[in-house]
A and B are shown apart, each in its own frame.
Chain A
Amino acid sequence: SQKIEQNSEALNIQEGKTATLTCNYTNYSPAYLQWYRQDPGRGPVFLLLIRENEKEKRKERLKVTFDTTLKQSLFHITASQPADSATYLCALTDNAGNNRKLIWGLGTSLAVNP
């Protein structure tokens, strides 16, 4: 069956370190993989999108990698700050580009300690 998995355990790191979050998927052929940030009581906020033919995408302190062989995306936050504390969601669109097939992970909670 199709599945998308993120680390269910919260990630706690020290300020200034690099946070790395994982998104694994099975039985999909994703066209795009997206990362969002969600704060308590708020809607998800779009961060980065990476296409199936891209290996890496960067935006300021954020970096996303995409390995279609391993069926995995890694999301990195460098020089992390307490303000980066939130839940991070990954979502993928299958190769048909059908919005009905946008599949979401459950998210990983990140806490950056000062």
Chain B
Amino acid sequence: NAGVTQTPKFQVLKTGQSMTLQCAQDMNHEYMSWYRQDPGMGLRLIHYSVGAGITDQGEVPNGYNVSRSTTEDFPLRLLSAAPSQTSVYFCASSSSTTGRYGYTFGSGTRLTVV
């Protein structure tokens, strides 16, 4: 049982480049989400999904797109990378759309934009 798998683990981008952070879970969780974690800011929600075909914005959605074509996958796309998007990104999933069973996190992607 792999849980939540994120790839890549590390990435360096130049300003203006685009890329996709991958997230996959094998627990049949309906709820999936993307967070970024920055020193002094804590975890902030970027986008989330309550099921295939359904996505919504979180607290800091600007500059990011998501889609949810399957229950298992929830990729995060950076459209035009900016230095302000340098951060650690975590994907999290849950069997409950209300969070009453906690969340399972991936191991993260450390992104640097130069």
Contacts and interface: CB of A to CB of B under 8 A. Distances in A.
A58 B41 CA distance: 29
A99 B31 contact: yes
Scoring A36, A91, A102, A105 by chain B CB atoms within 10 A of each residue's CB, the highest score goes to A102
A99 B97 contact: yes
A49 B100 contact: yes
A19 B20 CA distance: 40
Contacts of A99: 31, 33, 45, 48, 50, 94, 97-99
**Interface size range on A against B:** 20 to 34
B23 to A, nearest CB: 11
A104 B42 CA distance: 7
B43 interface: yes
B105 interface: yes
A106 B98 contact: no
Contact of A43 (B40, B45, B48, B105): B105
Given A99-B31, A99-B99, A46 B42 contact: no
A71 B33 CA distance: 27
B99 A32 contact: yes
Interface of A: 31-32, 34, 36, 41-46, 49, 51, 89, 91, 93, 97-100, 102, 104-107
28 contacts: A31-B100, A32-B99, A34-B99, A36-B102, A41-B108, A43-B90, A43-B92, A43-B105, A44-B43, A46-B104, A46-B105, A49-B101, A89-B42, A91-B43, A93-B98, A97-B98, A99-B31, A99-B50, A99-B97, A100-B48, A100-B57, A100-B58, A102-B99, A104-B42, A104-B43, A106-B40, A106-B42, A107-B42
Interface of B: 4, 31, 33, 40-45, 48, 50, 56-59, 90, 92, 94, 97-108
